[in-house]
Chains A and B, each alone.
Chain A
């Protein structure tokens, strides 16, 4: 599904070129569950953002489902990722002014889904995540775990093929974290590919493959 070839990303500070990503080669098949690990500043989030098409890279090739992402314009990239990719953040990043229902609905609005269809889809996912009773609350009225559930629901509402999660349990206590990870496992079993960034060995073990990053490079590790 994803094919990264020789990806380089750098920023210039003064006369020095500071590499964020160096020669990343990575292929992800449909339905895989990958965990990216590494110390702070090793480029985990940058890599995730590159895969999610939120960030640009300076060199290399990126193929996503037979599209060459490095050749696409911003508008085309947007329409590509809004169709196939869902994002989950450590800080949930829900819109405070919208209710749970409206937050989950947002991606569908941007995909021009009809109102009646939207209603049905949101109702389904609320039901599945057991948050029907919370649908009219605002994010600030929810606990962290519940907010992250909403965040995941929003990421999944448009039925993406790939879920990108940046330390999804980073702001949660261990029990809530475990619940989220079990949910990820379940989703993965249903065929959604997942790439997560995590610090925790335990969370990483939910995945089928672990990629270790150090100073922007993938370090080989035994599976």
Chain B
């Protein structure tokens, strides 16, 4: 019987190609996003599944009971716990503590990059599977291993082993090895693994701090109660040393039970909780429900085409449940075709979209496909059951007599409301994305804040003078600025105040020379540029921005000129000029006070301004040959400033992804409209026929049929323009430096969306109006 259902389902699909296409496409474009959500769910269950002893590796977690009986749970435990357990209990084979270090900025002289390191003991590499690609594990203080990806970022194709990375506080680190690429989905996710000896060297440990993750590998066949007893005993010992208002309690957690987290633990970094899973699942279902809703709408709108079949089947003895299962089977068939389409789209997305926060691959593909298939069946049932119930309820007598009209659900007002909501939501969403897009575009391209056109940056070390002179000889070079770090990156900070009695204000500090400020086209509101100097010592003049003048309370910019201020508590420097506030780093934040000063010890970058219309690659080659003359052994680091900033500020992959979501939401809402129009025209088919026989022209009928929808569209427009504007405005205002809302762009998008909606209505009604009236009026 099921086979029969699928046969007729298939023939129906083939017979009504357009509607099948709309249905499959509608579900098919929604499905990849649902599949993505499902992948994220499956991935959570596969976290840290690559270690050698999953069944006897435990993490020790801590419950702290306060005097007021409230308990907080931590994923971490005291640093000393690891050593205690290993020393005192024979069933323990190995233990290892792991500490997360927070974010570090490491500097390879060419590149400064933020990394995310963890401290590990050598035993870490015995309990967990993080094999090395090259070199050895870090044991001595100030040694570390880095990931494969980091090695590429820092050192390119060179061998990183033995190379140096500098940290501003902990000094020089030696890279002892490179990790093989490992699965990203682990709670040990990091860019570098630093020797625990480093941690011990720089940090005085307090035994009560829950600073470390403690991992215990127990011997085979260890009874669980032995571990619990040992933990209870250790906790009792700890509790003697801590203030009496707190009690510690240790618990074990099997490695495989860490992800997903079913209880909320503090410090539980990179572990997804069951809530994340629920959110992902809910998203998957919400997306597909949107699309399924359209399927329901469309299927019901076309219910007449199936009514006769229902009537005949009932007369030949079909029971209602048999008809319901037939229609549900059909919906499942459609859902599976949509799954195929969706899977193809998913693969295309994977090829073109590279987002770090999305995982595309799982280890257990069979499990994934089981999840996909179950989800597809669920989709089919969700989409198919409702229309099936209604269709199967047709009375055969009425159907065969031909006195039945298309069915739908809910009141007509409800469905009209849905169409309006769909259109408004689409528009607002598109507006938001478009506004974000234009903001990113503004940030990524040349704007009024500082000049980035015709600027090329070369990173240099101390001896740049000769190089600078040689570069100046190049006929294309207009001016060479010197700076500590170009605008756009993170500046270093300094402290300024008006006089000794006052509190310091934090300011961004740039070491810069006169030419750099000219290159950047900064606008002076008072005073003048730094005096030209080529000396080796820092000068006593500074240029500040308006915000700095205000922060220090120097009065108006004009009044500030010539005043002395304290820089970093010691040095008295004189304000030489005040520039207009501008964005030199992060567009979201309001301006910080800014101080620029000739400070040759801090110069790290030559900021070269060239003449117009220069081929960047040719210029790079020329510069490289000059560089090689002076620094034959060092790598040449050159950047086209305009391009560099574009790449930094323009989140291409995210925008692509957003764009796709926009498209999907748009298509779904247009399909909702198609469903409504179809329903309406099918319902009025007979009326149209009569009107035509009475002599109505096609255009009159089109007008008659579409006027109701035009009203809906007009209402949607009236709601979505102001609403979309307000929403876009609030998003744009997250950026302290913004370009305002690109109103023409929004209006253009609005017109496009509504023209498509309009033509959908007109095309559908025109087809109905053009039909031969004889057909619709004939009764059997």
Residues of A within 8 A of B (CB): 45, 49, 52, 54-55, 75, 78-79, 81-82, 87, 89-91, 93-98, 102, 106-107, 109-111, 154, 158
A-B pairs with lowest CB-CB distance, top 4? A82-B317, A91-B780, A110-B317, A97-B11
Tell me whether B308 and A97 are in contact (CB under 8 A): no
Tell me whether B8 and A110 are in contact (CB under 8 A): no
Min distance, Cβ A155 to any Cβ of chain B, angstroms:
9
Known: A82-B317, A93-B312, A95-B309. A109 touches B1 (CB 8 A): yes
Which A residues lie within 8 Å of B308 (CB)? Answer: 93
Question: Given the complex of chains A and B, what is the CA–CA distance between A55 and B311 in angstroms?
Answer: 12
- Interface residue? B568 (CB, 8 A): no
Tell me whether B311 and A93 are in contact (CB under 8 A): yes
Which B residues lie within 8 Å of A52 (CB)? Answer: 315
- Interface residue? B15 (CB, 8 A): yes
**What total count of A-B pairs have CB within 8 Å?**
58
- Residue of B whose beta carbon sits closest to that of A171: B780
- Interface residue? B153 (CB, 8 A): no
Which A residues lie within 8 Å of B1 (CB)? Answer: 109
Known: A89-B400, A93-B400. A78 touches B316 (CB 8 A): no
- Residue of A whose beta carbon sits closest to that of B11: A97
Question: Please, could you name 23 A-B residue pairs with CB atoms under 8 Å apart, sorted by A?
Answer: A45-B401, A49-B397, A52-B315, A54-B397, A82-B316, A87-B316, A91-B400, A93-B312, A93-B315, A95-B8, A95-B313, A96-B309, A97-B12, A97-B15, A98-B8, A98-B11, A102-B4, A107-B317, A110-B313, A110-B317, A110-B318, A111-B317, A158-B317
Taking CB atoms and an 8 Å cut-off, the chain B residues in 1-47 that contact chain A are: 1, 4, 7-8, 11-12, 15
Which A residues lie within 8 Å of B400 (CB)? Answer: 89, 91, 93
A154 CB contact (under 8 Å) in B8, B309, B316, B319: B316
Min distance, Cβ B194 to any Cβ of chain A, angstroms:
69
Q: Which of A49, A75, A89, A110 has the most CB of B within 10 A?
A: A110
Tell me whether A94 and B319 are in contact (CB under 8 A): no
Question: Given the complex of chains A and B, what is the CA–CA distance between A221 and B410 in angstroms?
Answer: 52
Residues of B within 8 A of A (CB): 1, 4, 7-8, 11-12, 15, 308-309, 311-319, 322, 396-397, 400-401, 780
Tell me whether B313 and A106 are in contact (CB under 8 A): yes
Which B residues lie within 8 Å of A90 (CB)? Answer: 780
- Residue of B whose beta carbon sits closest to that of A138: B11
Min distance, Cβ A83 to any Cβ of chain B, angstroms:
8
B319 CB contact (under 8 Å) in A54, A87, A89, A110: A110
Question: Given the complex of chains A and B, what is the CA–CA distance between A97 and B20 in angstroms?
Answer: 15
A81 CB contact (under 8 Å) in B8, B313, B317, B780: B317
Min distance, Cβ A16 to any Cβ of chain B, angstroms:
19
Min distance, Cβ B702 to any Cβ of chain A, angstroms:
30
Which A residues lie within 8 Å of B7 (CB)? Answer: 98, 102
Which B residues lie within 8 Å of A82 (CB)? Answer: 316-317
- Residue of B whose beta carbon sits closest to that of A81: B317
Min distance, Cβ A81 to any Cβ of chain B, angstroms:
7
Tell me whether B397 and A55 are in contact (CB under 8 A): yes
Tell me whether B317 and A78 are in contact (CB under 8 A): yes
Which B residues lie within 8 Å of A96 (CB)? Answer: 309
Question: Given the complex of chains A and B, what is the CA–CA distance between A131 and B12 in angstroms?
Answer: 25
Question: Given the complex of chains A and B, what is the CA–CA distance between A217 and B312 in angstroms?
Answer: 28
Question: Given the complex of chains A and B, what is the CA–CA distance between A198 and B400 in angstroms?
Answer: 17
Tell me whether B315 and A97 are in contact (CB under 8 A): no
Tell me whether B8 and A97 are in contact (CB under 8 A): yes
Tell me whether A54 and B4 are in contact (CB under 8 A): no
Min distance, Cβ A45 to any Cβ of chain B, angstroms:
8
Question: Given the complex of chains A and B, what is the CA–CA distance between A89 and B322 in angstroms?
Answer: 23
Known: A95-B309, A98-B8. A107 touches B396 (CB 8 A): no
Tell me whether B11 and A109 are in contact (CB under 8 A): no
- Residue of B whose beta carbon sits closest to that of A155: B316
Question: Given the complex of chains A and B, what is the CA–CA distance between A180 and B309 in angstroms?
Answer: 24
- Residue of A whose beta carbon sits closest to that of B313: A106
Question: Given the complex of chains A and B, what is the CA–CA distance between A154 and B308 in angstroms?
Answer: 16
Tell me whether B397 and A110 are in contact (CB under 8 A): no
Question: Given the complex of chains A and B, what is the CA–CA distance between A45 and B4 in angstroms?
Answer: 31
Which B residues lie within 8 Å of A79 (CB)? Answer: 317
Tell me whether B319 and A75 are in contact (CB under 8 A): yes
A109 CB contact (under 8 Å) in B4, B309, B315, B401: B4
Which B residues lie within 8 Å of A102 (CB)? Answer: 4, 7
- Residue of A whose beta carbon sits closest to that of B322: A110
Q: Which of B308, B312, B317 has the most CB of A within 10 A?
A: B317
Min distance, Cβ B561 to any Cβ of chain A, angstroms:
88
Min distance, Cβ B173 to any Cβ of chain A, angstroms:
73
Question: Given the complex of chains A and B, what is the CA–CA distance between A95 and B322 in angstroms?
Answer: 16
Question: Given the complex of chains A and B, what is the CA–CA distance between A73 and B317 in angstroms?
Answer: 14
- Residue of A whose beta carbon sits closest to that of B305: A96
- Residue of A whose beta carbon sits closest to that of B402: A91
Question: Given the complex of chains A and B, what is the CA–CA distance between A223 and B774 in angstroms?
Answer: 42
Question: Given the complex of chains A and B, what is the CA–CA distance between A102 and B1 in angstroms?
Answer: 12
Question: Given the complex of chains A and B, what is the CA–CA distance between A78 and B313 in angstroms?
Answer: 11
Apart from A93-B315, A97-B309, A111-B317, what 20 extra A-B contacts exist at CB < 8 Å?
A: A49-B397, A54-B315, A54-B396, A55-B397, A75-B319, A78-B319, A79-B317, A82-B316, A82-B317, A87-B315, A90-B780, A91-B400, A93-B308, A97-B12, A102-B4, A106-B316, A107-B316, A109-B1, A110-B316, A110-B318
Which A residues lie within 8 Å of B12 (CB)? Answer: 97
- Residue of A whose beta carbon sits closest to that of B319: A78
Question: Given the complex of chains A and B, what is the CA–CA distance between A82 and B319 in angstroms?
Answer: 10
Q: Which of A91, A102, A109 has the most CB of B within 10 A?
A: A109
Question: Given the complex of chains A and B, what is the CA–CA distance between A81 and B7 in angstroms?
Answer: 26
Min distance, Cβ B592 to any Cβ of chain A, angstroms:
71
Which B residues lie within 8 Å of A95 (CB)? Answer: 8, 309, 312-313
Min distance, Cβ A56 to any Cβ of chain B, angstroms:
9
Min distance, Cβ B12 to any Cβ of chain A, angstroms:
6
Min distance, Cβ A62 to any Cβ of chain B, angstroms:
16
Which B residues lie within 8 Å of A111 (CB)? Answer: 317
Question: Given the complex of chains A and B, what is the CA–CA distance between A91 and B396 in angstroms?
Answer: 14
Min distance, Cβ B403 to any Cβ of chain A, angstroms:
12
Question: Given the complex of chains A and B, what is the CA–CA distance between A91 and B399 in angstroms?
Answer: 12
- Residue of B whose beta carbon sits closest to that of A45: B401
Question: Given the complex of chains A and B, what is the CA–CA distance between A97 and B397 in angstroms?
Answer: 21
Which B residues lie within 8 Å of A87 (CB)? Answer: 315-316
Which B residues lie within 8 Å of A94 (CB)? Answer: 312
Which B residues lie within 8 Å of A91 (CB)? Answer: 400, 780
Question: Given the complex of chains A and B, what is the CA–CA distance between A158 and B318 in angstroms?
Answer: 13
Which A residues lie within 8 Å of B309 (CB)? Answer: 95-97
Which A residues lie within 8 Å of B318 (CB)? Answer: 110
Question: Given the complex of chains A and B, what is the CA–CA distance between A107 and B322 in angstroms?
Answer: 12
Which B residues lie within 8 Å of A45 (CB)? Answer: 401
Question: Given the complex of chains A and B, what is the CA–CA distance between A94 and B318 in angstroms?
Answer: 15
Which A residues lie within 8 Å of B322 (CB)? Answer: 110
Which B residues lie within 8 Å of A106 (CB)? Answer: 312-313, 316
Which A residues lie within 8 Å of B319 (CB)? Answer: 75, 78, 110
Min distance, Cβ A220 to any Cβ of chain B, angstroms:
28
Min distance, Cβ B476 to any Cβ of chain A, angstroms:
74
Min distance, Cβ A64 to any Cβ of chain B, angstroms:
15
Question: Given the complex of chains A and B, what is the CA–CA distance between A29 and B560 in angstroms?
Answer: 118
Q: Which of B1, B316, B401 has the most CB of A within 10 A?
A: B316
